[in-house]
């Protein structure tokens, strides 16, 4: 019989999966909101100024880099909130003294 994995590995995997799912959901919703906002804003501006496709196409093209930037910001914030902890007695983690050489 294979040895059982500790419960902490299972909970860490579950936490990571939930975090990735929430980030994907946030990015998807924000991208959708930006694109739909650009579409309706462009249609409204085209109707207002009687320039049928110009504002809609322009805002749709501008919405692409904006949604990519928002995606990058959301992912960076999510990654910064994930904290990794190391055990106190980790032998690989040694403090290095920086100073003058002797």
Question: Is residue 18 in a domain?
Answer: no
Identify whether 55 is part of a domain.
yes
Structural domains of the chain, count = 1
Domain that holds residue 42: 32-79
The answer to whether residue 47 sits within a structural domain is yes
CB neighbours of residue 34 within 10 Å? 20
DSSP string for 56-76: HHHHHHHHHHHHHHHHHHHHH
Residue 24 lies in a domain: no
Phi (first) and psi of residue 42, to 5 degrees:
-65, -40
12 belongs to a structural domain: no
Give how far Cα 40 sits from Cα of 34, 48, 59, 61, Å: 10, 12, 9, 13
Indicate whether 62 belongs to any domain.
yes
Q: Is residue 49 part of a domain?
A: yes
Tens digits of residue pLDDT in 38-95? 999 999 999 999 998 999 999 999 999 999 999 999 999 988 887 665 555 555 655 5
Full-model pTM: 0.71
Note whether residue 61 is domain-resident: yes
pLDDT higher at 12 or 93 = 12
């Amino acid at each position: 019989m294979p040895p059982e994995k500790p419960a902490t590995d299972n909970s860490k995997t579950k936490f990571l999966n939930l975090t990735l799912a929430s980030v994907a959901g946030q990015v998807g919703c924000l991208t959708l909101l930006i694109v739909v906002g650009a579409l309706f804003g462009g249609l409204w501006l085209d109707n207002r100024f009687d320039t049928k496709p110009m504002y809609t196409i322009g805002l749709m093209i501008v919405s692409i880099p904006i949604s990519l930037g928002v995606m990058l910001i959301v992912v960076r914030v999510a990654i910064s909130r994930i904290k990794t902890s190391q055990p106190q007695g980790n032998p690989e983690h040694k403090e290095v003294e920086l100073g003058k050489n002797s």
